[in-house]
């Protein structure tokens, strides 16, 4: 039998020795210490490699889907929101996020781009250039 604490995520196993509540509280506080070094993600992890390989292409596909689904000034607003979200995923500075979001909004509002997957092609081109 095991019980799981809701706020700390620690497990208490009845087959092991019981620990005092104070010890558990100290361990839980130590885990949430902001001065503790953050773990660096492993660049060879399969999920990290998939994100690196397909990230720009998938971002382009999302933007092209928004472009296909919307028209007019509404497309500009939704394009800005989605563009800001996409550039936030890549943790760009705020100024670059705003510029990218405005470009994404303009792309979604432009006529005759509805059936052309230009954002996907740009994402594929970016990935191709980085593979050199």
Query: pLDDT digits over 39-68, tens only?
Result: 556 777 777 777 777 888 889 999 999 999
85 and 110 housed in the same domain: yes
Tokens standing for 109? 């509002």
Query: For residue 32, with 0-12 CB atoms within 10 Å meaning exposed, 13-18 middle and 19 or more buried, which class applies?
Result: exposed
Please check whether residue 36 lies inside any domain of the structure.
no
Instruction: Phi first, then psi: give them for residue 128, nearest 5 degrees.
Output: -65, -40
Please check whether residue 41 lies inside any domain of the structure.
no
Element (H, E) at 86: helix 72-89
Tokens standing for 28? 């839980």
79 and 125 housed in the same domain: yes
- The stretches in the chain having pLDDT less than 50 are 1-20, 23-24, 28, 36-37
- Count of residues in the chain: 132
75 and 125 housed in the same domain: yes
Please check whether residue 65 lies inside any domain of the structure.
yes
User: What is the span of the domain harbouring residue 79?
Assistant: 46-130
Taking the model in full, what pTM does it have? 0.61
90 and 126 housed in the same domain: yes
């Amino acid at each position: 039998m095991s019980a799981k604490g809701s706020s700390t995520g620690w497990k208490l196993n009845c087959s092991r020795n019981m620990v005092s509540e104070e010890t558990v509280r100290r361990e839980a506080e130590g885990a949430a210490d902001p001065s503790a070094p953050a773990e660096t993600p492993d660049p060879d992890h399969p999920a990290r490699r998939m994100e690196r390989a397909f990230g720009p292409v998938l971002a382009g596909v999302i933007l092209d889907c928004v472009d296909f689904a919307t028209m007019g000034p509404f497309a500009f607003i939704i394009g800005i929101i989605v563009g800001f979200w996409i550039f936030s995923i890549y943790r760009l500075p705020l100024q670059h996020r705003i510029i990218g979001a405005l470009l994404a909004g303009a792309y979604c509002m432009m006529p005759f781009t509805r059936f052309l997957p230009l954002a996907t092609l740009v994402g594929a081109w970016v990935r191709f250039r980085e593979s050199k």
